[in-house]
Amino acid sequence: MPERGRRRVLAFDYGTRRIGVAAGQEMLGRGEPVAMIPARDGIPDWTVIEKLLQEWQPDLVLVGLPLNMDDSENEMCARARKFGKRIHGRFHFEVEMVDERLTSFEAKGDVMAAGGSRDFGRHGVDDRAAVLILETWFREQDNGAGQF
């Protein structure tokens, strides 16, 4: 794995209907939206995930963890953790969970501010949320925060 600061990272915003994906390089500290993958009750087309992993060849995969505001976990946390474990188990990539509280809310605000409609599913909320997860992780690395 490349030294800290030079890793390529792929981030997933897990959802039951869509999974947003973003990519970035740690040195730049910025992410870009890559894809919104349809999911059926949280189950993606794993061949699409595999193609993204092959294309981007990340050194690390991040999965957003939707904690409650009081730090407690909910059903979606368990599902997001399971998704991360499946990526690790199927494709053997290192996976870290990242606190994603309020990223979807912020992403919706970004889309609306850019002139998007309330039909968020077609206007990049999920992939924008993945960018926010990725950039949150980059900031935590800059601040010396440990693993989640």
Residue 109 has pLDDT above 60, yes or no: no
In CATH, the number for domain 8-141 is 3.30.420.140
Token readout for 69 is 């505001």
Mean pLDDT of 81-110: 82
| Cβ atoms of residues 84 and 66 within 8 Å | no
In this model, does residue 148 exceed pLDDT 70? Answer: no
Q: Which is it for strands 60-65 and 95-99: parallel, antiparallel or unpaired?
A: parallel
- Can you tell me the mean pLDDT for 104-132? 59
Residue 122 has pLDDT above 80, yes or no: no
Written as one letter, the residue type at 59 is D
Whole-prediction pTM value? 0.81
- Domain extent listing, the chain: 8-141
Amino acid letter, 41: D
